[in-house]
A and B are shown apart, each in its own frame.
Chain A
Amino acid sequence: MSALAGSAPAAGSAPTPARSARRVGRLEPAALAGVMSRDVAIFGRYWKATTFSSIVQPTIYLLAFGLGLGAAVHQVGHVPYKQYVATGTVATAVLFSSAFPGMFNTFIRWQFQRTYDAVLAAPVDVEELITAEVLWISLRAGVYGLAPLLVAIAFGMQPEAGMLLVPFIAFVTGFGFAAFGVTIAAVAKTIDNFNYVTSAVLTPMFLVAGTFFPISALPDGVRQVAQVNPLYHCVQLVRDASLGGLGSADLGHAAVLIAFALIMWRLAISQLGRRLID
């Protein structure tokens, strides 16, 4: 005990300056790293389960859709259906590995475990806390977004240099959806409220995005709605990058994803900030 007590910075140093030499600012890397180090420590306990499911899930999608539906549908446009599904599954994986942790982790850590109370009592502000949490989720989504492509390559898909862009696309998309999840957690009254979002927002979002079937076949109205779905732009970008078809339209897709990420980021901070600080 005396070791700590004796180490009080005050000890025997009367004429020192009135204030600490270290000044804190806004969005400090040290604060972000501190919050993320907690996520990393927890991930150390779960990485096996996460990795397992991120490999097994796309395998099942590829088998079910690729072999099952693929027997009837050989290609969409000029894309072989197996590759169509493999690239669509990347977007699905990114959506689920970012929106769900955004909603559930946030709600549990904030309401049940009160972790965020502890973090905000340290020199970390709301903006840093949320940015770090979203950043962590999206980094993970970026890495695991590659899993479906690796599975597809194992099934015989041709590797393509453009695939190296996929982690970045997955990261930006994941950032937007993680922040979307945080925003939902901030406005949800109970954890059961997430059911509304999952069934009414996320499910249609993941189906009507050109993941397993093209949106061009849909009625006009639905197609226009699908075009504002960020996941649609993620799918297009991933598909073009993975199949060697990047073009000028992809700049538009990238712009939509970046805008979505930025808007959701600020929204998550303002919404959760309102609830964290009373």
Chain B
Amino acid sequence: MLAVARHEHQPAGVPAGGHAISIHGVVKRYGSIVAVDGLDLEVPPGVCFGLLGPNGAGKSTTMRMLTAQALADEGEISVLGYELPRESKQSRLEMGVVPQLDNLDVELTCRQILMVFARLYRVPRGERPAAIERALELANLVGRADTIVRELSGGMRRRLLVARGLIHRPRLVLLDEPTVGLDPQVRQELWSLIDGLRTGGVTVLMSTHYIEEAERLADTVAVMSNGRIIAQGTPVELVRAHAGEKVLEVYGPPDRLAEVSELAAGNGWSSRRSGPAVAIMRAETLDGLAPEGALRPANLEDAFVALTGEEIE
């Protein structure tokens, strides 16, 4: 059953040939600040789509526009075939949202929260108990069902947040920085949870500024910077196109690093400071001119830095 959905590539509810999400020429201003600046984005059904960008790139604003909690100043947005903002409520009925900021009711128990959202998402009365059990299992919180949120750990709260957004079996899920601020073990748990969704045929749009997260989970990555998409493709395509096959890392004292940076600039090589080293992209094209250093395969981080000019935190 799972496999069927995964390979159909045309989940129900999305018009034939249509996209789960389609954004055209969207601009969003806050006073003199342009948060989203001519955004074009199309998310096909059934994929995990990663919106990767540094903080302040406009990812969260984009997410808010997809639930009509922010209204675009220009451009068109449609979600699951519904025009926003006019038909936004209908699209929200059929999608789930996992916010970046924890907005759980700290005074309620896990079960109470899931019950409230089962109602908000119009899960029929008779199906609510089963939906809540399923969500508790999914979040691995069965033993904590009647614990008050305030007493849960950060990881448990995040899993509950995810389960809350999935209570009504949405076919599209928006995840805004799903693992921000979590420790590595909890992050792994959430990653397998998200991967499970995609496997089940659910379309996922995930914003993140963690490169590894995008690399591990996303079928397609769109790199967002200053309110628009500056590159898009599979992680492998992005790496090949913007960082080449191999990267040469040259280590040394600060003087040596400055020298190497100058050499790179002089030869027109794309390079960046990477911790205690200078990394030169497309090392496979350097021929004999290359300084001595360690060759390694190029990765998405290289491509991301080459694209955005941002350093990695």
Q: Is A217 an interface residue (CB 8 A)?
A: no
Q: Is the beta-carbon distance between B69 and A41 smaller than 8 angstroms?
A: no
**A7-B108 contact in complex given A24-B90, A38-B116, A123-B120, C-beta closer than 8 Å:** no
Q: Which residues of B contact A277 (CB under 8 A)?
A: 68-71
* A30 to B104 CA separation, bound complex (whole angstroms): 21
Contact of A6 (CB < 8 Å), options: B67, B164, B166, B200: B200
CB distance from B67 to the nearest CB of A (A): 5
Q: How far is the CB of A9 from chain B (nearest CB, A)?
A: 6
| Cα-based distance from A93 to B119 in the complex (angstroms) | 32
Chain B min CB distance to A24 (Å): 5
Interface of chain B residues 94 through 130 with chain A (CB within 8 A): 94, 97, 99, 101, 103-108, 112, 115-117, 119-122
Grouping DSSP codes into helix (H, G, I), strand (E, B) and loop, the A interface class, with mixed when no group exceeds half, is: loop
Contacts A9-B13, A19-B81, A24-B93 known; A121 to B2 CB distance under 8 Å? Answer: no
> In the assembly, what is the distance between CA of A252 and CA of B161, in Å?
50
Q: Which residues of B contact A38 (CB under 8 A)?
A: 105, 108, 116
Complex CA–CA separation, A201 to B103 (angstroms): 32
Contact with B along A14-28 (1 / 0, CB 8 A): 101111101110000
Per the bound structure, the CA–CA distance linking A34 and B169 in Å amounts to: 18
CB proximity to A under 8 Å, residues B176-229: 192-193, 196-197, 199-202
A114 touches B5 (CB 8 A): no
Q: Which chain A residues border B169 with CB–CB below 8 Å?
A: 4, 7-9
> For residue B65, which residue of chain A has the nearest CB?
A278
**Nearest residue in A to B116 (C-beta to C-beta)?**
A38
| Given A10-B5, A22-B93, A278-B30, also A121-B69 (CB < 8 A) | yes
- Decide yes or no whether A248 CB sits under 8 A from chain B: no
Question: Which A residues from 25 to 64 make CB contacts under 8 A with B?
Answer: 30-31, 33-35, 37-38, 41-42, 45
Residues of B within 8 A of A259 (CB): none
**Residue B10 interfacial (CB < 8 Å):** yes
Decide if A1 touches B193 in the complex (CB within 8 Å).
Answer: yes
A6 CA to B171 CA, complexed, in Å: 11
Closest B residue to A278 using CB positions: B70
Tell me, rounded to whole Å, the shortest Cβ–Cβ distance linking A113 to chain B: 6
Q: Is there a chain B Cβ closer than 8 Å to A11's Cβ?
A: yes
CB contact under 8 A between A5 and B2, given known A277-B69, A278-B30: yes
**Closest 5 interchain pairs by CB?**
A5-B200, A10-B11, A34-B119, A114-B103, A121-B97
Residues in B lying within 8 Å of A, measured CB to CB: 1-2, 4-5, 8, 10-16, 30, 45-46, 64, 67-71, 81-82, 89-90, 92-94, 97, 99, 101, 103-108, 112, 115-117, 119-122, 134-135, 137-138, 164, 166, 169, 171, 192-193, 196-197, 199-202
Can you give 23 A-B contacts (C-beta < 8 A)?
A1-B192, A4-B135, A7-B169, A7-B200, A8-B201, A9-B169, A10-B8, A11-B200, A14-B8, A20-B13, A22-B122, A34-B116, A42-B105, A113-B105, A118-B103, A119-B120, A121-B99, A123-B92, A123-B93, A124-B89, A276-B69, A277-B71, A278-B64
